[in-house]
A and B are shown apart, each in its own frame.
Chain A
Amino acid sequence: MTGFRIDGGTLIDRNDVRRFSFNGEALSGFGGDTVASALLANGRQLVGRSFKYHRPRGILTAGAAEPNALLTIGRDGRRDPNTRATMAELFDGLEARSQNCWPNVNFDIGAANGLLGPLLGAGFYYKTFMWPAAFWEKVYEPLIRKAAGLGRASYDPDPGYYEKCWAHCDLLVIGAGAAGLAAALTAGRAGARVIIADEGAQLGGGLLAEGSPIGGKPADAVLADIVGELHALPNVEIKKRTTVFAAYDDQVFAAVERVQKHLPEGAINPHLAMERLWRIVARQVVLATGAEERPIVFGGNDRPGVMMAGAMRTYLNAYGVAPGKRVALFANNNQAYQTAMDLEARGVEVAAIIDPRTCPNIRYDGKARMIAGAMVRDTAGRKAIKSITVRHDDGRDEVIAVDALAVSGGYSPIVHLACHRGGKPAWSDEHVGFMPPENTDGMTPCGAVAGKIGIVDCFAAGGAAAVKALAELGVMGDAATLPGVAQGDATVDHVQPVWSVSSTKGKAFVDFQNDVAASDITLAMREGYDHVELAKRYTTNGMATDQGKTSNVNAIGILAENKGVSPGEIGTTTFRPFYTPVSFGALVGASKGMEFQPIRKSPLHGWAERHGARFVETGLWYRSSWFPKDGETFWRDSVDREVNTVRTKVGICDVSTLGKIEIFGADAAEFLNRVYCNAFLKLPIGKARYGIMLREDGFVYDDGTTSCLGENHYFMTTTTALAAGVLTHLEFCAQVLWPELDVRLASATDQWAQMAIAGPKSRDVLAKIIDEDLSNEAFPFLAAREVSMFGGRLKGRLFRISFSGELAYEIAVPAGYGDSVADAIMTAGEEFGIVPYGTEALGVMRIEKGHVTHAEINGTVTPADLGMGKMVSAKKDDFIGRVMNLREGLVDPNRPTLVGIKPKSASDKFATGSHILKPGDPVSLANDQGYVTSMCHSPTLGHAIGLALVKNGPSRHGEEVVIWNGLAGTTVTGILCDPAFVDPENEKLHA
């Protein structure tokens, strides 16, 4: 340890020595230290380099607002760039590195940028890199992008586990300083469900830095009493290290909890989250977020060693760290004087107190020299402050040697959360700051955020706020009684606004993190960007990761000063979430890798796995795509084999993912008749029918089959993709369009394992497991009914429907039995050469048969476009889409209509999405005749085939066309044909 570590420090444990490295140098600190306090204790004032000018930067604050001391902490996947040293807790083995410097923080080549300062003012890149124009994208922008940014994200995956949680409470108290603690205690004693959240590692806020007694007791003892009582209340949940970073509608608040970020690698529990993202639903909120001390804008105000007065007090009292040996204070308010008193009490020399007020109304009996009516004009020193230049009220300059300077320009209430829902803060001349909006709906600001100063006032305000919030909930409570006199409190303050020091000669920074100087703000004004939102964007003031916590109000003040108006007339920029940066890990939570999204598995998934299926993701479903056999190295080897086997023998395919909807009710038939464009009123029991649903605009929405299984009981299948959409559509129709109909709907998709058994031998296979007559007479095409299976051991639903164009059935059994039934079918089919086939073979066969899917039902087609115009009922009074389907444009004979397409030469191939042109027409979309919707290699025909939507297609069968692939720049000669390439007479279906 060095001489900067002094006695005291309520937060540190001197028996717990923690070793860490800073830029590779071995250092040590204590348990309870932050990285910032440990660095200061080791005499490290220079910790980083600034964004644009690479100026030496130190530690400005002791909390969340830190703009300068941003470090990269950790290594590999656990590397966190841009970590505020003031918030990072020290642990054994911590590795910290400075950012934005090369080769090192002490000697940084980039500091040469400082010499170019006059050229690098606000908006310099808009003006400087104009010529030659081609250089912008190729040279200037890449260079600027390379230079931009501070820390670098790791490319290694973060091994930590992250999660998201919900929490609920009557009262959420945000901030655990004096006001927040009093509010939580009040509500907790009244029996309310309370959550108190604070971003710090310990509860206490400003109390942690309080060096003076409260009510005659040491401040840390008072704090311990309060926290002890809160811990003992079962209805109070304490969330330390938890930053409430956003306020949303309906009283939902987002918070991030640093669960294990403060632990060394060896102590991390892999099953416990590194960080937790909370969504807190609070009936009422007490906002006790405190106030941020403002810097003052003067020359060299960014030099290491310049620190906020409150931060200096925190390091002194909470961490036992002296910021320097000879310190000056530059303050325009009374509260900051307590820093000087505490410094002196700890034996640190206070060289001078510089106060711009001519008659500061302050009781100060310390040793420091008081310089009233004066300003700090500039500082000097290379990598740390060596002296300050004071401009006296008579215009005289005086240089005072110091190694640290405490600054306090007043206090800005931390109103962010009060404004996230759209409220605008209001300027207060009394408090010289922007106060929370008047209407904060369910949120009661109290304490420093509401303009209170001093611990005792904040205790009282917190208690009163909780009583008010509880009353809104109908809960009676008494404000907690807490010690009534705090020796260190300033009871009356008078802040004299000082937005910038006019006599400054050096660069005077407003926004430290983005290197925005006062001169940049005035430049923006001169160039017409004087609106606060424009000035922000022109200068980038407040646009860094600190979001201008220490800079925004000063920028507004400078704008106001130069325009000769009140800061209230300038107003603030818009407050939006997040209050402080949130890691991507917390935002992603557990949704990464295989947990990125849920996986939906068919009841036949295990069966398909055992048969070697290759799976494809279709939405959340994993569907079996094809089943390779030994020796098949290319997917099409398997698919061709599967297709050929089904066409000549038999195959089994998992179709469980199709949507299945049970429909009941006395008016179910009428209901179906209205949602389908074809007739359903007279569908007999035991029969299935193919149906087309239209949207209201007359285009096709979805297709599928619906079977009548009994009186007032129907069973609808939908496409896999639209299973949920169709049910939602039907519910809308039932509940909103026709509430007078008795119809009830239930999704049964997951209840059934459904298999297609297709091929000329399919009947023979099923006959071995189904107890009923499956002859053409007893069970004809489109028959559908419940059947007994396995000698009465199981009931299933059998449908004689075909997507492949073969003699085919679909058998549905209760999902748990799907695996066994599929095995039984494979065994029964063994003698017939049965194979499992996947969705690829299914797709090939449906193209060969000319059946459509959503490749054709693409939202722009009518039934007539698909060659099914005759299905649209002309007799029904009404159905969804009836009127709009008759629109002029939808009955135009030149509409693109379904045709088959094949290459003129069997060896040619073409791609889905290719456009159709007339031979001889220039290759251009202006000559477009239509496009290919589906394409495959047909193992049955031995060449490529496709389906296409072509103008007046059905009348052009046999016509030669050009198939143009605009992406690949190729053309192939094709021939339009009947879309049913296989069995156009449907003989197989009825076999």
Chain B
Amino acid sequence: MAEAMPYEGERHSNTVNLLGREITVEGGVYTVVFGGLAVLTVIEVLSAEFLNGAIHDIPDAAAALQAIKAVLLLGIAIVKSSLVIWYYMHLRSENRLIAIVILLPLLIAGLSVMFLLAIPPSGYGL
């Protein structure tokens, strides 16, 4: 992952410090992030296909594999979303108020969704 860099305002550098190495690429950090998003998407799709095959082949472990798949894929999706919000939506250079503005509805919506998933008809039999 690219390290957080100070926001440069009008001047945009094409040099990004990636894992301790200086990389120069047209578009700088934005291009690096796009590369990351693409790689993560490929990983996501491939692992979903692989795990689907495994679930089909090993019916005994289907429930466990299904859980692993859900956690893994959602984890990757959250990382991708965070990359977009942090770099493309410039949350890294905004003040804390904006972070609160985006975290508060996530918290409220998250709790509400959790509640709806925990009660019947979806819950209990889970």
Do A and B come from the same complex?
no
Q: Which A residues lie at the B interface, using CB under 8 A? A: none
